[in-house]
Every structure is written in structure tokens, then in C-alpha cells.
Amino acid sequence: LDVGCGAGTLALVAAGRGAPGVVAVDRSPRAGDLTRFNAALHDAAIDVRVGDLVEPVRDESFDLVVSQPPYLPLPPGVPPTGYLHGGVFGDEVARRLLAVLPSVLAPGGVGIVRADRAVDAEPFAGIELSWPGPDPTDVAAAYAATHVADEGTERDDVAARYRSHLPRFRSALVVVGAGPTSRPVAVELEAQPASWEALTAAARF
């Protein structure tokens, strides 16, 4: 089960590795459509459902539940973006999911929820929480430092470094095997092209 599937990345990985009965859930109908599209693109059998957290599967159980819920903190007065913001501290969606996760786990099942900060285990009865990898305090400090750097006075210099890195990045894509594909590709456009007819004809939608 992939909760908050977005475009279906985790569900696609599970299906690609042979997991039977993959289900993907998201509260956004648009995300559900994207997951269906990507599943068709990769010939993956994924059951896509629209609803909040585990509500669409409340009478079912799963051996593995995975989720990468929205995790960015939302400052007061800032309009939320559903797939990014996880409440004031960034952990609201993760906490809500952890509270209901045991209800859809099969005996011996495992839930993996990605979070950017430690979640206190005390409020969650019937579930054992663990934090693999680095100490959560170190992760939080590094995360904060990244945001400070993004807004720092050296921003122009960083932007110039990224621009100079682009040619090397393109070369790296060739090395890892990225290239033309005969399969359909979805493209999100920031502005409407001069001719939709030319775009659809070229892309064969």
C-alpha cells in the first residue's frame, strides 16, 4: 500500500519488484490520475483509489505500507500546497498516518513512513517506531542549514555554480544511459504553446 502516492513512484517500484496486489491511495484526484497514467506507461498493475490516508482501504490489511507524506513546515499566512506542506511543523500528515497505520497492517506487517524530523512515539499505541540512519537532530540541523543557505547572501554565486555545472550534468545523463524513448512521455508546461495542435501531433497523445 502506497499512502499519499502522488504520481505513484513508490507503488511503481513495488510493482516493478513483483509485489502482488499493489494499491495506491491519494486524497488528490489529480494524483490518482497521474498514478494511473504512470502505471499504464509501465504496464504495472496498480489499484488506484482516491481518499484521505487509509480511508479507502479501511477494511483491508497489507504486509507493507509505504508513504512519503508532505513534510515541509507551513509558516502562518502562507497558502498550503497539498503535496508539499505537512502543517506548521511539517509532521502533521505523518502523525495522522502513524495513528491509523496499525489498522491496515497485517500481522507481522511493516510500515515505512518518510519524515524529515523525529516523531515522538509516545502518542502511538500499538506501533513500534524506529529511526534508521543518522541521528534525527543532525538531520534536522542539516535541513535547517540548507534552507538558510538557500536564502543567504551568496545566492548569486550558487546560481552561477549551478549554471556552470549543467554541461557536466548533461554528460552524466549520457553515461547513465538516459536517452530517447519510444514510449509516451508526459510533459508539464509552464506556459501554453503557440499551437496545441502541433504539440499533440508531435507527442502523439
Query: What is the percent of the chain with per-residue pLDDT over 90, rounded to a whole number?
Result: 28
Please report the pLDDT score of residue 167 as a whole number. 55
Give me the half-sphere count of Cα atoms (radius 13 Å) on the Cβ side of residue 157.
Answer: 4
Please report the pLDDT score of residue 62 as a whole number. 94
Rounded CA-CA distance 45/18 in Å is: 10
Stretch 127-133: mean pLDDT: 57
Residue 52: CATH number of its domain: 3.40.50
Domain that includes residue 84, residue range: 2-203
Residue 122 clears pLDDT 60, i.e. is over it:
no
Q: How does DSSP classify residue 42?
A: T
Confirm if 152 and 165 have CB atoms less than 8 A apart.
no
Please report the pLDDT score of residue 113 as a whole number. 84
pLDDT 10s digits, 39-74: 998 989 999 999 999 999 999 999 999 998 876 666
pTM score, whole prediction: 0.60
More confident residue, 71 or 35: 35
**Which residue in 3, 102, 106 sits closest to 50, CA to CA?**
3
Give the burial string for 4-39 (b: 16+ CB within 10 Å, else e).
bbbbbebbbebbeeebeebbbbbbeeebbebbeebb
pLDDT bin (cut points 50, 70, 90) of residue 203 is very low
Among 91-95, 124-128, 158-162, 174-178, name the one with the lowest average pLDDT.
Answer: 174-178
Q: How many domains does the chain contain in total?
A: 1
Stretch 113-142: mean pLDDT: 57
pLDDT 10s digits, 145-190: 444 444 444 545 544 554 554 455 444 444 333 444 455 554 454 5
Please report the pLDDT score of residue 195 as a whole number. 45
Please report the pLDDT score of residue 131 as a whole number. 56
